[in-house]
Amino acid sequence: MILGLAGNQNCGKTTLFNQLTGSNQHVGNFPGVTVARKDGQIRGHKDVTVVDLPGIYSLSPYSNEEIVTRDFLLNNNPDAIINIVDATNIERNLYLSMQLIELDIPMVIALNMMDEVRANGGTIKIKEFQKQLGVPVIPISASKNEGVEELIDTVLEVAEAKRAPRRQDFCSGAVHRTIHSIAHMVEDHAQRIKVPPRFAATKLVEGDEPMRKALRLSENEIDMVMHDVTEMERELGTDREAALADMRYSFIESLCASTVVKMGESREHRRSVAIDRVLTGKYLAIPIFLLIMMLIFWLTFGVIGTALSDLLSLGITAVTDAADAGLTAYGINPIVKSLVIDGVFAGVGSVLQFLPIIVVLFFFLSILEDSGYMARVAFVMDKLLRRIGLSGRSFVPMLIGFGCSVPAIMSTRTLSSERDRKMTILLTPFMSCSAKLPIYAVFTAAFFPKHAALVMILLYVMGILMGVGSGLLMRGTVFHGNPVPFVMELPNYRMPSAKSVLLLIWDKARDFLVRAFTVIFVATIIIWFLQTFDTRFNPVSSGSDSMLAMIGRWIAPIFAPLGFGDWMSSTALITGFTAKEAVISTLAVLTGTDVSNLPQALSTLFTPLTAFTFLTFTLLYTPCIAAVNAVRQEMGSVRSAVGVVFYQCGVAWIAAFLVYQAGRLVAG
Amino acid sequence: MTLDRLKIGKSSKIVEVRGEGALRRRLLDMGLTPNTEVMVRKMAPMGDPIEIHLRGYELTLRMDDAKKIVIEEA
């Protein structure tokens, strides 16, 4: 049995999903789009799957989230819908319910946050309320796990009895007549494509293009529909879309007037308004936001991240040393030992080193999201990102990019529009990640000891500018057309639930390990192989004889116009693909020195100008394999991931070329 | 007059929602239908977007979009 869980954003849908399923969840995508789909088995009912549908406000055909929900409900034949409704915000939440009811699928309304309504002196006459709506209504509190058992029982009962909503007619007058006449007219077409005629008719009256196409109406029928609609518009003195929205809200208003004893302004709402006086206030909003982000960065990449990373590498080193000693004592072939130690252990280590960052960062991000603060950030920062065709929602993921692209790309999942999500994923790698800092540090120490800070700032700014430029370019090409409207709810602040936070962390960590492990591991092994052997598969004694060095020599001419056409720097760039900090260790190995003496060694390879062009290229060229894999995972497409690699390498080459040539002109 | 010109803290009733396509539909779906009472709560620190209060909840929209919402004269 399949159930669909539908509801608005911020109505407690995820909390309810977690209560229904526990940790029996499976994350995937809806076919063809990057809209996330979560399935789970209902606790105690192994044969019942519930699908968490995207948080939407309407079944209009304008966003992929809405279309996906519609398609799922119409084509996957769910046995019932659980429609979760936030009782503290009942009018707007019921707007979606009215459209869901028209789908003629057995349905139950879960009236969430009833505890909050009651605590604030409100109440809902449930019996009368469900009588007027024609579907069972169960008051629940998802966060306190109240009423959930009753909800499950009711849904299963309704689904087994195939009890469709008892009422679909919520309209009167001209709208009523028009919908009915059109429903009759298109009945055959609708039944052919297995869509309830009533739903088809309503959508046609609204002017819904996908529905009109799907029904394949004849010219004559289209004319008749148009005739009815025009007649209705004339009679009501308004247009079709406004007429139907008004019809739904009018019914909801009269329903609420007769069954809902409104609560006074709730404590939660008053508290939210008070908090917002500070957090989105004119003077404090931006400083506080920056402070919060700095704190998160400091904790993630400094305090906790470093501590966990150190602990982890301590463990890895201990295991590696033990294995090393064991293998040596056993007298194993040095190549096999190198495979185990430098290949396998290094590979596992490079996957695991992301884990502390991901866990800690998503701990903070899920608190920001669940508390309602993320929506405020979008509100405060929207103006900055509007020019490149994005909204304030993309600000935090891009900011995380300065720490690490991998969690930054993973965090775009919370963006509610697919277009914004894709664009943010593509722009995030331009934010210079913290793994590039060691490279900047070594090069500035070697070439710009007096202007280290200036050079670094210059690099960061260049990355941001390239991101903005790419955004403008994409807005004009790949993502042309109108951006998704930025009309966003600012939900009341809420205490994040520990369960949701932990589940999200678990989700992200598992997601990363499962999907990134193979890719990163294989890449590390390949690099190890290329570094260890020459073309005749003999182990090399010096780094300059390896296959990797040979490939470095092949591609070195590509970098000649950028001023660093020697094989060592191109070889270092290749290893940088597995992890950016590898650029430095490779350069140290190839120049026959260690990292602390690398600045001196580099002065034979680079001039200050070519050093700066090299930094420019390193800043912009392909993200590391873990980030590329995150792009593939979140975009659901290998092509996009490969595209990112080539696009960024191209941008990097052009930028470095311009820097080098301009530098030569200036130097004369 | 249009919603972008309503002073902070003041309320009015919606007369008509103009515009077209996804934006207009979104505004209607979010409950900005004729005769709905709206109050402008605040403006973002950079002067745009604005935060409004309607039907018991808070909504943010951009100034450009607020221009499409016709409201009753104060």
Mean pLDDT, residues A60-78: 90
Query: pLDDT class for A557, splitting at 50, 70, 90?
Result: very high
Please give the residue of chain A at the shortest CA–CA distance from B60: A488
- The superfamily (CATH) of domain B3-71 is Ferrous iron transport protein A (FeoA) (2.30.30.90)
- The superfamily (CATH) of domain A2-160 is P-loop containing nucleotide triphosphate hydrolases (3.40.50.300)
Residue A55 known to bind ligand = yes
**How far is residue A431 from each of residues A397, A400, A520, A564, A631, measured CA to CA in Å?**
10, 9, 21, 24, 15
Kindly list the residues from chain A whose CB atom is less than 8 angstroms away from the CB atom of residue B31: 91-92, 95, 249
C-beta separation of A6 from A81 below 8 A: yes
pLDDT of residue A11: 93
Whether pLDDT at A15 is above 70: yes
Q: How far is B71 from chain A (nearest CA, A)?
A: 15
A173-261, what's its fold? Helix Hairpins (1.10.287)
pLDDT of residue B57: 94
ipTM above 0.90, yes or no: yes
Omega cis (within 30) before B49: yes
Radius of gyration of chain B (CA): 11
pLDDT per residue as tens digits for the range A208-258: 999 999 999 999 999 999 999 999 999 999 999 999 999 999 999 999 999
Nearest by CB to residue A486, choosing from B16, B29, B61, is B61
- 8 Å CB contact of B57 and A383: no
pLDDT of residue A263: 81
Q: How far apart are CA B32 and CA B15, in angstroms?
A: 10
pLDDT of residue A481: 65
Whether pLDDT at A23 is above 80: no
Mean pLDDT, residues B18-42: 93
pTM (predicted TM-score)? 0.89
Buried b (16+ CB within 10 A) or exposed e, A302-322: eebbeebbeeeeeebeeebee
Residue A11 known to bind ligand = yes
Residue A341 is classified by DSSP as: I
Q: How far apart are CA B1 and CA B10, in angstroms?
A: 13
Query: pLDDT class for A357, splitting at 50, 70, 90?
Result: confident
Whether pLDDT at A169 is above 90: no
The rounded percent of chain A whose pLDDT value lies above 90 is 64
Distance of CA A539 to the CA centre of its chain: 44
Q: How far is B73 from chain A (nearest CA, A)?
A: 20
Mean pLDDT, residues A35-55: 92
C-beta separation of A207 from A240 below 8 A: yes
Does the beta carbon of A283 lie under 8 angstroms from any beta carbon of chain B?
yes
Q: Tell the burial category of A6 from Cβ atoms under 10 Å away from its Cβ (0-12, 13-18, 19+).
A: buried
- 8 Å CB contact of A383 and B48: yes
Kindly list the residues from chain B whose CB atom is less than 8 angstroms away from the CB atom of residue A485: 22-23, 26-27, 65
Distance of CA A526 to the CA centre of its chain: 30
pLDDT of residue A488: 93
- 8 Å CB contact of A242 and B59: no
Query: pLDDT class for A482, splitting at 50, 70, 90?
Result: low
Q: What is the dihedral of CA B2, B4, B10, B13, to 10 degrees?
A: 30
Residues written for chain A: 668
Q: How far apart are CA A52 and CA A311, in angstroms?
A: 37
Cα angle, residue A172 at apex, residues A166 and A175 outer, rounded to 5°: 105
Beta-bridge mates of residue A489: B59
Q: How far is A412 from chain B (nearest CA, A)?
A: 20
Region of B21 please: left (phi>0), alpha (psi -120 to 50) or beta: left
pLDDT per residue as tens digits for the range A565-612: 899 999 999 999 988 988 998 898 888 888 888 888 898 889 999 999
Between A168 and A540, residue with greater pLDDT: A540
Residue A433 known to bind ligand = no
Query: End-to-end alpha-carbon separation of chain B, Å?
Result: 9
Query: pLDDT class for B74, splitting at 50, 70, 90?
Result: low
Does the beta carbon of B28 lie under 8 angstroms from any beta carbon of chain A?
yes
Record the tokens describing residue A56, joined without a space.
């939407």
Query: pLDDT class for A554, splitting at 50, 70, 90?
Result: very high
Domain ranges in chain A are: 2-160, 173-261, 518-667
Whether pLDDT at A168 is above 80: no
pLDDT of residue A567: 92
Query: pLDDT class for A523, splitting at 50, 70, 90?
Result: confident
Residue A426 known to bind ligand = no
Does the beta carbon of A233 lie under 8 angstroms from any beta carbon of chain B?
no
Which of B4, B27, B60, B68 best tests the A interface by mutation, with the highest count of A CBs <10 A?
A: B60
Estimate the share of chain A in helix, then strand, then coil, as percent rounded to the nearest 5: 70, 10, 25
Does the beta carbon of A120 lie under 8 angstroms from any beta carbon of chain B?
no
Q: Side by side, which strands form the sheet with B50-54?
A: A487-489, B57-61, B50-54, B37-43, B11-17, B69-71
- 8 Å CB contact of A487 and B26: yes
**How far is residue A189 from each of residues A77, A221, A574, measured CA to CA in Å?**
18, 11, 58
Q: Poorest-confidence range of A217-226, A305-314, B43-52?
A: A305-314
